[in-house]
Structure 1
Amino acid sequence: MSRKRKQKKTLEELLAEALVPEAEQPYELPENWVWVRLGSVFERINENVMPSLNQKYIGLEHLSKNGGLEGIGKAEGLKSSKTPFKNGDVLYGKLRPYLNKHVAIQFDGVASTDILVFRQKIDELGIFLDKYFGLPYVMEYAMSNSKGINLPRVSPKVMESLPFPLPPLSEQKRIVDRVESLLGKIDEAKELIQEARDSFEQRRAAILDQAFRGELTRTWREQHPDVEPADRLLERIREEKASLETRKGGRRKKATNLPPIDPPYELPQGWKWVRLGEVTVINPGKPRNLEYTDDNICSFVPMAVVDDFTGSISVLEERPFGEVKKGYTYFEENDVLFAKITPCMENGKVAVAKGLTNKFGFGTTEFHIIRCSHLNIHPKLVYHLVRSDFFRKQAKAVMTGAVGQQRVPKHFLESYPFPLPPFDEQEEVVKVVDDLLMHEYETYTTLEIEGHLNSLTQSILTQAFRGELGTHDPTEESALELLKRTLAEQNGLAYESPATEELRVAEQGELYLT
């Protein structure tokens, strides 16, 4: 018995699927615009292929936060299938959509399977979509419909259902030209700010390099020749560590056999090269005897509230203990929080935990915790070390894991050579560094402009997709006809424009009269 042949959908049925119901429309559009589902005007490439050696490769790490391309990879060495893309396609990162990674691509290649590839069904609509992805509304839509806690993803189906404002074809081009002109001026201003920021980063790197060579406290040492050397401090730290292990009732941990430190440079008298793990505790864990009821409030630090410029926690969140006691990282007052995952680590997301409710808190599992205050090591000294440019560069070189989800391993921190100053000198090093960096922050006022520029960008994009940038012409053919024409062409259906229909009716009327 033969199967019943699937009936072809009519243009009216296709149109009903493509249009967004009025109740779901985000805002009111100009009269000759129309709200459509993204999948009706863009084809999502649902194909995976094994890449060839000479192909260009785009992973999430190559897409810039908030749009753009910051690098191109090579397919050589890739062992799994990838999604092919062509010049003119739009790429969108579905992993961690709050990063808002997207770009209108200008060459052929293959992309990570964590990147959605959209191909336009209407000429020149790709650039228009890329600009649309920059709207806060799109990010909020993707985030509210994503799944996963630490690594949220938005599904392809959800993005294909995204409401998309379709203007008439000519207006699309005018909008893109207008937006690119305005955003081009903003980009020029941002480049100047970035140059200033790079200069600041170079000065900060130089300050920290001098600090850990003992050059910033040379005068202080001359004035305090009788301070206890770091050798004695190290002995006390070892004794304290052994005592802590005894008090916990556990066996003393067997020392890891590490090769002797090859000093990168000569230290001042009284300083000593040690392993960071010798004088701190890395990821100490939650105490077994922590007594706290599930409904009591405790401090919580997600990655987003650690400022990668200032290196501080912008706001301490509070959550019930019962929600965070499992599945999150525990830390205590004065612990150093070090982001171990890319790109947060490279960006310098490091902070000292201060002002915690009941002196402890929880945060994302993407933190390494470095505890040192109870061992007579100044937390801010360790903070400046792990946030320094030279530390982060070495950490990046040893990251492990899948592309886009690489992390700094714990043993790197434990074995890292640390130039340990005497106890009394640590506080002076921290004071001098803090004073110098505070002066740099205060004089670096141009960064305040960056927030205004980002707000201006969002304002321009919002106006553009509401038809409020002076590009709207109400006399142009409605975008509804453009949609009908596109659906008809894609599905092999007949389409008759209103003008053609009027002409045909007029001709029939004349024929009738004659």
Structure 2
Amino acid sequence: METMIMLMNNSLPKNWVISCVGDIYKILESGSRPSGGVKAFSKGIPSIGAEHINNRGGFNFTHIRYVPDEFASTVRKGKIELEDILIVKDGATTGRVSFVNENFPYPSAILNEHVFKLKVNTEIINQKLLFYYLYSQEGQKMILSSFHGAAQGGINQQFIKSVFIPHPVSEKDQIALLTRIEALLYQLAEARRLHEKIVADTNRLMDAVLAEIYPTNEEQLPEGWRLLPLSEICTINPTRPRNLANSDEALTSFVPMAAVDDREGRITDLQARPFGEVKRGYTYFEENDVLFAKITPCMENGKAAIARGLINRFGFGSTEFHVLRSTNQILPEWIYYFIRRESFRQEAKTKFRGAVGQQRVPADFLETHLIPVPFPDNPEKSLAIQQQIITRVQTTSGEVAEAQIGNTKTGTLLSQMEQSILAQAFRGEL
């Protein structure tokens, strides 16, 4: 640490200094909760914990908890105020920081025991400028250098002695630096917003194409098409052949749920396991069968794939797959793209059965669900039309996949730019 401070000192711009947060803090405290916790309370004063501080320097109030008004009135420490810097003190997200600005939605709120609030002497350092430093990669390294413990590790109040911030001496120069940081971050936020819109539009493109291909009511059907139950064009969860035999040592294809990529809709990690390990207690399927995740949240996320490249043309996988085996008059892709539609998954979600967290799509939902089929009474013509349409869909799918890869790279660059701005700011290079 001393070597790092010396290096920082040697590269400081003119009229800059390095301050130890341990020397300039005024308040460093955490809050508390009533004995027995807060689950029993549905109203009162918001209790802010580590789960409410996100990794972007802000808040996530999706699952807010409360403490009774009477308890809050007796609390002396941990009351949230404007311009507080909040720091997660333990657990998996130790070191995350957020800043309480005028947009904080609660006029009165308190911290629980897992979060520090920090205030410093603003005659020495601007409070928000310090927040940006603590949010930066360098600031995070300094905070986490004091991390201790294993199972539920964290930081204690001594961590501030290990945090050193380089900054301009004068208040005027600090405000000027803060203004430059926020102007650049605003522009970056606008770029992020546009990027997120592009990502959303890209992700919707395939759904738009599939909605056009698969009309779901009689009025929209092209001439010669019919709506048929899935059970008429494929076997749902076909039984394993009674005469299936193999040596227990023979390698057999295996597909755990994690091996199916929910974005690409394909098996990305086809495994090979001894037949003796998988022959009982798993789902059986064959080459060209369509696998459809039936359990939440895998189903909603879009885990589905066509089983291909199987050893000896059969395999086993997670018990949380439904298997759809098409007849020789239907292409597997025709079923696969149909069940990959967002609207199909949303409808399947309404048919869930089972306890929360273990809900599943029942097989009878698949059996009775209607799918449009071109010219079902003319198999040769039907297959030709299916293939023509599938070829077009696959071309679009490839283009969407390329766009998604580009979107991912752009998102990574935008995230790196944020930290680059902060690094330059605290080197005096803005």
TM-score after normalising by structure 2: 0.58
Deviations 1:298-339 (A, max 9, x none): 222233343333322234233333443344333221111112
Q: 1:119 aligns with which of 115, 120, 123?
A: 115
User: Given the superposition, is the C-alpha separation of residues 366 and 180 from structure 1 closer, same or farther in structure 2, using an over 3 Å criterion?
Assistant: farther
User: Given the superposition, is the C-alpha separation of residues 49 and 66 from structure 1 closer, same or farther in structure 2, using an over 3 Å criterion?
Assistant: same
Q: 1:47 aligns with which of 24, 37, 40?
A: 37
**Distance in 2 between residues matched to 1:186 and 1:277, nearest whole Å:** 51
Report if aligned partners of 1:120, 1:126 keep a CA contact under 8 Å in 2: no
3-state SS, counterpart of residue 215 of structure 2: coil
**Distance in 2 between residues matched to 1:411 and 1:296, nearest whole Å:** 35
* CA positional deviation for 1:470: 8.1
Q: Which residue of 1 aligns with 2:227?
A: 273
Deviations 1:94-131 (A, max 9, x none): 9xx9xxxx9979778xxxxxxx9933376699999999
Please, what is the CA RMSD of the aligned residues?
Answer: 5.4
3-state SS, counterpart of residue 261 of structure 2: coil
In structure 1, give the amino acid aligned to 2:366. Answer: L
User: Given the superposition, is the C-alpha separation of residues 121 and 358 from structure 1 closer, same or farther in structure 2, using an over 3 Å criterion?
Assistant: farther
**Distance in 2 between residues matched to 1:450 and 1:211, nearest whole Å:** 26
1:331 aligns with 2:285: yes
3-state SS, counterpart of residue 324 of structure 2: strand
User: Given the superposition, is the C-alpha separation of residues 74 and 443 from structure 1 closer, same or farther in structure 2, using an over 3 Å criterion?
Assistant: closer
**Distance in 2 between residues matched to 1:363 and 1:322, nearest whole Å:** 14
**Distance in 2 between residues matched to 1:381 and 1:462, nearest whole Å:** 46
Report if aligned partners of 2:89, 2:155 keep a CA contact under 8 Å in 1: no
Moved more, 121-130 or 275-284: 121-130
Q: Which residue of 2 aligns with 1:354?
A: 308
1:391 aligns with 2:344: yes
3-state SS, counterpart of residue 382 of structure 1: helix
3-state SS, counterpart of residue 333 of structure 2: helix
Q: Which residue of 2 aligns with 1:198?
A: 200
In structure 2, give the amino acid aligned to 1:335. Answer: D
Q: Any gaps of 5 or more consecutive residues in structure 2?
A: 7-19, 21-28, 66-77, 81-85, 107-111, 120-126, 141-148, 169-177
Counting only pairs closer than 5 Å after superposition, residues 57-456 of structure 1 correspond to structure 2 as 72=62, 118-120=114-116, 159-161=151-153, 168-169=162-163, 171=165, 188-213=190-215, 265-372=219-326, 374=327, 376-421=329-374, 422=376, 423-424=379-380, 425-439=382-396, 441-442=398-399, 445-453=402-410
**Distance in 2 between residues matched to 1:403 and 1:55, nearest whole Å:** 28
In structure 1, give the amino acid aligned to 2:267. Answer: I
State the identity as a percent: 34
TM-score after normalising by structure 1: 0.50
Name whichever structure is richer in strand by fraction: 2
Deviations 1:1-49 (A, max 9, x none): xxxxxxxxxxxxxxxxxxxxxxxxxxxx95799xxxxxxx989978352
User: Given the superposition, is the C-alpha separation of residues 30 and 427 from structure 1 closer, same or farther in structure 2, using an over 3 Å criterion?
Assistant: farther
**Distance in 1 between residues matched to 2:62 and 2:418, nearest whole Å:** 27
